[in-house]
Amino acid sequence: MEEFTGDGSSPSSSAAPPQRRLTVTQRDQIAVERNVFGILRSLVDASVQTQEIMLKLWRDKHIVFLTRGLKQLGPSFHVLDANRPWLCYWILHSLALLGESVDSEIENNVVDFLSRCQDSEGGYGGGPGQLPHLATTYAAVNSLITLGTERALSSINRHKIHSFLLRMKDLSGGFRMHDGGEIDVRACYTAISVASCLNILGRELVEDVGNYILSCQTYEGGIAGEPGSEAHGGYTFCGLATMVLIGEADKLDLPTLIDWVVFRQGVEYGFQGRTNKLVDGCYSFWQGGALAVAQRLLSFVDEQLKSSFLEGKKVAKNNCSTSSPYMSEGDSDLDEHPCQFSDIGFYFLERESGWGSLFHSAALQQYVLLHCQVPEGGFRDKPGKQRDHYHSCYCLSGLSLCQYSWSKNVNGPGLPMTVLGPYANLLEPVHPLHNLVLDKYYNVHEFFSKA
Ligand SMILES: CC(C)=CCC/C(C)=C/CC/C(C)=C/COP(=O)(O)OP(=O)(O)O
Ligand SMILES: [Zn+2]
């Protein structure tokens, strides 16, 4: 076989120092390898570009879809007629997560519309003149907090809402959704969340609600809507958040609850709402939110694991005590200072996340961006389903939780490594107990702490 030197000159037998020689086959091999390397590199580049495109958050399209929804809320809008405060919240909160604010005309329309939904005896109904309901009260209050202006916040009749919440309180400790309505964990959460944000949370509202929630934690570890029912992600979030807001999260069986929630993340990377059901984008918030809350409860989980190990049994569930582990010394006199309960949610934000994310947050972002995001704007439950405002709100809320899930503090910066896709995907951070954009929460906390 003819030989070639490595630099292409003729073979030489002179006394010159021996040069490394390559055979034709070797040269061909190098050429082929360079080629393959080049092809691989362009494939990798192309796939990075494709990924950047596929994993891109289509902000502008979402903003158009959401804003259009808000403009349709007028008197001629009859779809979801009893749910219009919800539509306001889903849309306004989604826009706030995207860092968008609404113009003053829309803002005034929303404030006027919600004022017409406010009952003269307190609370908000699903539309003007409708029965006040806890779910729509939560949606209306969160909408007004998200608007955040003086006009929006002062349109809320806090004292009347307080009477409405007291009227919904049941002897069991739980709350009814409306006069004569069902008692469930959703009602407890919406009542306590609203009272906490409005700085009207006192002992009379808190009394025994913890015991009611404890009676809903099931053998699986998750929380059901009512005693004896099946554990569900929506109620697990509501139950856990309520327990934190009243300072009693340590009474839940936290290790089992966390176990149940983390195993709800499926092979599709999304979360399912309950055992053996399909994954759905909205559980990115309900289940992801429960874990975002739980990751700040490390000290209680440690305590429970230690005591269950030492005692060889589960922690007693009804080990009631009135002092809250969230409060600083001297805060125990709650009867004289009932509004200190409202500060629990505020100080919760200072609790550090001991573990980092408890779920696969990059995988969940992939599910939301690739399978739930509709490129024309909006989000859906899963491929094959239509986009809607509810799924847009909870997919975006879950996405935000993922992006900040490795930050030590809730208001720490979103770390580039934890944002899947381009960094421009980064959303605003949320208060995980209320699902309000953090700045909006700080604003309302300050506004009503003077009251
Ligand atoms: C603040 C507030 C009002 C919170 C609500 C929380 C929430 C989402 C509760 C879930 C209710 C529920 C049992 C849905 C099951 O629907 P399904 O059977 O259609 O869905 P699945 O198959 O995913 O369980
Ligand atoms: Zn859903």
Ligand 1 atom at shortest distance from the alpha carbon of 237: 6
In a domain, 57, yes or no: yes
Confidence (pLDDT) at 312: 56
Confidence (pLDDT) at 249: 96
Binding site membership of 135 for ligand 1 (Cβ less than 6 Å):
yes
What average pLDDT does the chain have? 87
- Provide the whole-model pTM: 0.85
Weakest mean pLDDT among 73-77, 83-87, 160-164, 239-243? 73-77
In a domain, 419, yes or no: yes
In a domain, 18, yes or no: no
Mean pLDDT of 346-358: 86
In a domain, 48, yes or no: yes
Q: What angle do CA 53, 367, 189 make, to 5 degrees?
A: 130
Query: Alpha helix locations (H) across 312-407?
Result: 344-348, 361-366, 389-403
Confidence of residue 407 (pLDDT cuts 50, 70, 90): confident
Supply the CATH number for residue 177's domain.
1.50.10.20
ipTM greater than cut 0.90: yes
Confidence (pLDDT) at 35: 79
Residues 6+ apart with CB under 8 A from 189: 138, 237, 238, 239, 241, 242
Mean pLDDT of 239-253: 97
Can you give the residue range of the structural domain that contains 377?
A: 34-71+80-311+339-450
Total structural domains within the chain? 1
Q: Is the pLDDT assigned to residue 333 strictly greater than 90? A: no
Confidence of residue 81 (pLDDT cuts 50, 70, 90): confident
Q: Is the pLDDT assigned to residue 28 strictly greater than 90? A: no
In a domain, 268, yes or no: yes
Beta carbons of 360 and 265 less than 8 angstroms apart: yes
Measured in Å, residue 284 CA sits from the centre of ligand 2 at: 9
301 versus 161: the higher-pLDDT residue is: 161
Euclidean distance between CA atoms 68 and 142, whole angstroms: 20
Residues classed as catalytic: 232, 274, 277, 280, 282-283, 381, 388, 391
Measured in Å, residue 234 CA sits from the centre of ligand 1 at: 5
In a domain, 318, yes or no: no
Confidence (pLDDT) at 18: 54
Q: Is the pLDDT assigned to residue 201 strictly greater than 80? A: yes
Q: How far is CA 43 from CA 30, 46, 51, in A?
A: 19, 5, 12
Give me 274's structure tokens: 């309950």
Measured in Å, residue 81 CA sits from the centre of ligand 2 at: 20
Measured in Å, residue 289 CA sits from the centre of ligand 1 at: 14
Q: How far is CA 17 from CA 7, 12, 24, in A?
A: 14, 10, 21
> Which ligand is nearest to the Cα of residue 237, counting in written order?
1
In a domain, 293, yes or no: yes
Mean pLDDT of 248-260: 97
Q: Whose CA is nearest to atom 20 of ligand 1?
A: 273
Confidence of residue 311 (pLDDT cuts 50, 70, 90): low
Q: Is the pLDDT assigned to residue 76 strictly greater than 90? A: no
In a domain, 333, yes or no: no
Binding site membership of 353 for ligand 1 (Cβ less than 6 Å):
no
